[in-house]
Amino acid sequence: MFLCLGRHLLMNTTDLLNQIKKNLQKKKLQIATDMADGRMSDFNSYHKYVGLAQGLEDACGVIDDTLKQINEGDE
> Is pLDDT at 50 greater than 90 in this prediction?
yes
Which residues fall within 8 angstroms of residue 19, CB to CB, at 6 or more apart?
11
Q: How confident is the model at residue 5 (pLDDT cuts 50, 70, 90)?
A: low
Which residues fall within 8 angstroms of residue 51, CB to CB, at 6 or more apart?
none
The pLDDT of residue 60: 98
